[in-house]
Every structure is written in structure tokens, then in C-alpha cells.
Amino acid sequence: MKKILSLAVLILLIWNQPSFAESNWFKQKSPQAQPEQPVESKPDTVLPKGVAPNGQSPALLLKQPCDRADKMFDTIKKYRELMLFTGEGLTFGVQGQAYNGGMFFFVNQETGSWSMLQVYSDGMACMIFNGKKFEPYMGTQPDYGEAK
């Protein structure tokens, strides 16, 4: 009897729950196809290389492994990589928000493996880049032209 009564109460609770999909609480906008606006280009306008007509530079969304800094450093230890240099810098989120952090570059000069971590003030670290075949650059430097 208790099971039947419990089941009846459960059914009544579920049955009487408000349906937010049918209410105006969370208004849904119906998708409407927006016609693509033609980009007006002026013959005398020259955009810099890599800049789209809307004024935004192209972006690449990436997925980076992140964990507590001590765990990420344990991964570096597995490859016997040693710190080569450090710095501070920014990475940018999907919506353009900037994240400031310390950058650490590790290398194992015997095996050629290397890793770059960014460590944030909350103790989180992300593997920004890693690879193999590390070797110091001994060639000529690029010619950037005269500073203006």
C-alpha cells in the first residue's frame, strides 16, 4: 500500500510541475534567417593582410589541457624537461577576455622534447604548447625593416 501511495504522490508532483517551455519566463526567439549584408568596399581602401572586411582579425579556437599547477609540473617531470626561460603574458578566451599568467618553457635538450605552460594566479596551469625536435636557432634573424 505504501508503494502505491508513494507512486501516486510522485505522479501528482510530476504532473503538476510548471512547464517553463510553455511559459513566458524564458522567452525564445524564433530563428529568422538574416540576409547577409554585402560588404561595401571602396577602391581606395586597402585592408592589412589578415584583417577581415568587418575589421576583425581571424581567430583560432583551441582546446588546452589544464589542471592544478603541481599536476601539470608532474607531467613535465615525466619527460625530464628542465626550465629554460620564463615570462609573463596573456592568452585570450573565446569571447576576447584576456587571461594574464606566468609562462614557463621547459626543454629536455637530450631528447628534444619541450613544453610551454601558462600558470595563473589561482594555481591553475594550462599546457599552451608542447612538442619535440627542440633545437636552438642559429640562423640569421628576420629583417623587420626600419622602425617608424
Average pLDDT over residues 48-72: 76
Residue 144 pLDDT: 85
pLDDT at 132 over 50: yes
pLDDT band at 12 (very low <50, low <70, confident <90, very high): very low
pLDDT band at 32 (very low <50, low <70, confident <90, very high): low
Q: What is the spatial distance between Cα 111 and Cα 135, in angstroms, rounded to a whole number?
A: 10
- Kindly provide the residue ranges of all beta strands, DSSP E only, lying in 45-123, ordered along the sequence: 66-68, 82-92, 98-107, 114-119
Residue 139 within a domain: no
Whether the CB-CB separation of 124 and 67 falls below 8 Å is answered with yes
Residue 114 within a domain: yes
pLDDT at 125 over 70: yes
Q: How many structural domains compose the chain?
A: 1
Torsion of CA 21, 23, 28, 29, to 10 degrees: 140
pLDDT at 45 over 70: no
Q: What is the pTM of this model?
A: 0.57
Give the least confident one: 57-66, 79-88, 131-140: 57-66
N- to C-terminal Cα separation, the chain: 89
Q: Is 84 exposed, middle or buried (0-12, 13-18, 19+ CB in 10 A)?
A: middle
Residue 124 within a domain: yes
Kindly state the cell numbers that stand for 121: 594566479
Domain span at residue 120 reads 66-131
Residues 30-39: contacts with CB within 8 Å, 24+ apart?
none
Residue 108 within a domain: yes
Residue 15 pLDDT: 42
Residue 92 within a domain: yes
